[in-house]
Structure 1
Amino acid sequence: MMLMIVALYVPGSGAVLAQDVPGIEICTVEKKMERRTSCLQSNINFLQTSLTRQVTDSSRKIDAANRQIQELESTVADLRKAVAELQAAGKKQPQLPVKDDKKTPAKEEIKQEAK
């Protein structure tokens, strides 16, 4: 039963493979003017569709890049605002004196000054 079904589909698949694939054809081999004109028109149609597809793809990519640029610009603005707030908060806080080794604040010195 399966062999019969496969045998029915095999001749049909050969017809699909024989279809003309769109692309640039060499039209100079055609002897008749009608066939040459048809060949040239086919090339023109193929090139126009290819160009239209490329323009559409390019505009989509440009739009996506512009959206990403806008998102990044807003992120940079938010980060600048956060840095400015942190710098302003840092200026308002009193700075602890630093020991000579400049690694840790001299907490002992602050405690002695308070006494």
Structure 2
Amino acid sequence: MRGLEVCTAEKQMDRRTGCLQTNDEFLQGVIERNARDARQRLDAAIKELSAARIEINALKAALAATTARLDKLEKAKADQPRTK
């Protein structure tokens, strides 16, 4: 398997060096691919978090407006004269 070859089994130094270089190149590629994938997942999570924060702020504003309207209605009801 590339990247996991046992290069010490090679007797000739040029073949051993080539084997090590191949392993190194393969493993560097795996590292780069994993870093790129992790960055893409992180970017997607950041976008999702940003959208969630926007939605939370909108819901907070809607809740504040509804609470204000409810308070206004309760005050108006309390100010009405009571008739029996």
Is TM more than 0.5 here? yes
Conserved? CA contact 1:25–1:39, under 8 Å: yes
Q: What amino acid maps onto 1:114 in structure 2? A: T
Q: Offset of 1:47 from its aligned partner?
A: 1.0
Partner of 1:78 in structure 2?
58
Structure with the greater alpha carbon radius of gyration: 1
User: Over aligned residue pairs, what C-alpha RMSD do you find?
Assistant: 1.6
Aligned length: 80
TM-score by length of 2: 0.86
Q: What amino acid maps onto 1:45 in structure 2? A: E
Asked if residue 47 in structure 1 is aligned to residue 16 in structure 2, the reply is no
Q: What amino acid maps onto 1:86 in structure 2? A: T
Residues 7-86 of structure 1 aligned to structure 2 (within 5 Å) = 21-86=1-66
Partner of 1:114 in structure 2?
83
Post-superposition CA distance 1:40-93 (Å, at most 9, x none): 011111111001101100110110000001000001100100110011001100
Q: Offset of 1:94 from its aligned partner?
A: 2.7
List alignment gaps of at least 5 residues for structure 1: 1-20, 98-112
Partner of 1:6 in structure 2?
none
Which of the pair is proportionally richer in helix? 2
Identity of aligned residues (%): 35
Partner of 1:5 in structure 2?
none
List structure 1 segments (4+ residues) > 4 angstroms apart after TM superposition: none
Partner of 1:90 in structure 2?
70
Q: What amino acid maps onto 1:55 in structure 2? A: A
Q: Offset of 1:22 from its aligned partner?
A: 2.6
List alignment gaps of at least 5 residues for structure 2: none
Residue 74 of structure 2: SS of its match in structure 1? coil
